[in-house]
Structure 1
Amino acid sequence: MTTLHRTFKKLCDPRINRKKKHKLSDIIILSIPAVPCGAESWDSIELFGKTNLSFLKQFPELKHGIPSHDTINRVFSMLNPHHFERLFME
Structure 2
Amino acid sequence: MEGPAALIYNSFGNISDPRVERGHNHDLLKMIFIVLTASICGADGWVHVERFDKVKVGWFQ
Pick the TM interval, shorter chain: 0.7 to 0.9
Unmatched runs of 5 consecutive residues or more in structure 1: 58-90
Tell me the alpha carbon deviations over residues 12-56 of structure 1, each in whole angstroms, 9 at most, x when there is no partner. Answer: 211012320111111100011111211001010011111111110
Percent identical among aligned pairs is: 30
Whether 2:35 is the aligned partner of 1:31: answer: yes
Residue 40 (1) aligns with residue 44 (2): yes
| 1:6 aligns to 2:10 (yes or no) | yes
Deviation at 1:9, TM superposition (A): 1.6
Q: CA RMSD in A?
A: 1.3
Gaps of 5+ in 2: none
4+ aligned runs moved over 2 Å, structure 1: none
Residue deviations 1:53-81, cap 9 Å, x none? 11101xxxxxxxxxxxxxxxxxxxxxxxx
Query: Going by fraction, where is helix more abundant, 1 or 2?
Result: 2
Greater RCO (Cα-Cα under 8 Å, separation 6 or more): 1
Question: Is 1:54 aligned to 2:58, yes or no?
Answer: yes
Q: May I ask how many residue pairs the two structures share in their alignment?
A: 57
Letter in 2 for 1:40: D
TM-score (norm 1): 0.57
Counterpart-to-counterpart distance in 1, 2:27 and 2:9: 10
